[in-house]
Amino acid sequence: MRFSDEKKQSIIIYMLEKIQQNCDGVSKIVAEAFDINQNTVHTYINELVDKGIIKRVKRGEYELVKKKYEYKYSRSDKEMDNDTYVYEHCLYNLIENLSQNVKDIWSYVISEMINNVIDHSQAENFKLIIEQSYIDTQVLILDDGIGIFVKIKDYFGFNTIDDAIGELFKGKLTTDIENHSGEGIFFSSKMVDDFFIVSSGKIFSNNKYGNSKIMNLAQTNTEGTGVYMSLSNFTQRNPQEVFDLYANTEGGFVKTKVPLKNIFDASPVSRSQAKRVCNRLEEFKEVEIDFDGIQWMGQGFAHQIFVVFARKHPDIKLEPVNMSEDVAKMYAHVMH
């Protein structure tokens, strides 16, 4: 059976994703998913092997062919003066045949992350590692600077590094308000499929499914900062769609979302915890307080956000979402 180019491409991408996930019996999975003959799937597999897109590991088992590139830059050699240089000279040639929206995303996120290294990290050196397969491109930026979470903590006087990381979920956070909007990390993390910042033994992450989280690392003495980003070479997402999710009709950055499960290890109970959540929310017009994964909340926590803060800032729309039954009961209690 001969399929349209579009359907064949869909079959191939699905198959490559399953190979990337190390699924057993890929040909059977693909055949069942598309209701096609396994012989057709094997024909496509052989084509991909011939084109160097995948390679056989053993009978019935394959892996993606990946190419890796590594670059090093030094401030002393005046290689850290231009935040667009890395994209134009290291990445663009690898993605020039991809769709414009993919190029637009990489142009934005690479420029923003390199700009952070140049202007904020106090790093003397950074390394760029690119790994690319047929279906996605991955970029890792490693610098030897002060560490992003430590810098945010010290600059704003937060008590802990977790407090500093929690602010990154909101956006509009910068240690150089005269020259930067504080939007780069926030929007970059929403544009790519996977986004991780590693520093001081902690990870800030945000992926394409909207799940953000803070995870502890065993290596608590991690120096500098590492930023990892990955993006499908076939993504339909474009930067303007991401900006529009958090903007008003005039294009301003007015909306944010606070995922509580990523900030607190247990259900929040106190006014002091609520004050952490409310910090800098006055910079926005609309705020989603996301209770996904939170089983209940204390009366003091609820009252501080939805009564005390709300009364002080009546022009800000506070919207609780994903409330469990117990959370909804406490919310209703403080609102009446």
- Note down pLDDT in tens along the chain; length 336 residues: 566 777 888 889 889 988 988 888 888 998 888 888 889 889 999 999 999 999 998 887 899 999 999 999 888 877 777 777 888 889 999 999 999 999 999 998 998 899 888 887 888 889 999 999 999 999 999 998 888 888 888 888 888 888 887 777 766 655 554 444 457 787 888 889 889 888 888 888 765 445 555 555 544 445 789 999 999 999 888 888 777 776 554 446 678 888 887 777 678 888 888 888 888 788 788 898 989 888 888 888 899 999 999 999 999 999 999 999 989 999 999 988
Which tokens in the block code for residue 19? 């190979």
Q: Please tell me the predicted confidence (pLDDT) of residue 209.
A: 46
Residue with tokens 């926030």: 186
Answer whether 67-241 and 254-335 agree in fold.
Answer: no
Torsion over CA: 204, 273, 325, 315 (sign): negative
E strands along the chain, which residues?
54-58, 61-64, 67-74, 125-132, 136-143, 194-199, 202-207, 212-216, 225-232, 255-259, 286-290, 317-321
**What pLDDT is stored for residue 49 in this prediction?**
94
Both tokens of 57, joined, read 């590991």
Listed by start position, the domains of the chain span: 5-64, 67-241, 254-335
CATH of domain 5-64: 1.10.10
Give residue 252's pLDDT: 60
Q: What CATH number labels 67-241?
A: 3.30.565.10
Which residue is it, tokens 């992450």?
Answer: 205
Look at residue 218 in the predicted model and tell me its pLDDT: 43
User: Residue 158: how many CB atoms within 10 A of its CB?
Assistant: 18
Distance CA 170, CA 165 (A): 10
* pTM reported for the whole predicted model: 0.72
pLDDT reported for residue 181:
47
CATH number of 254-335, picked from 3.80.10.10, 3.30.750.24, 1.10.10.60, 1.10.40.30: 3.30.750.24
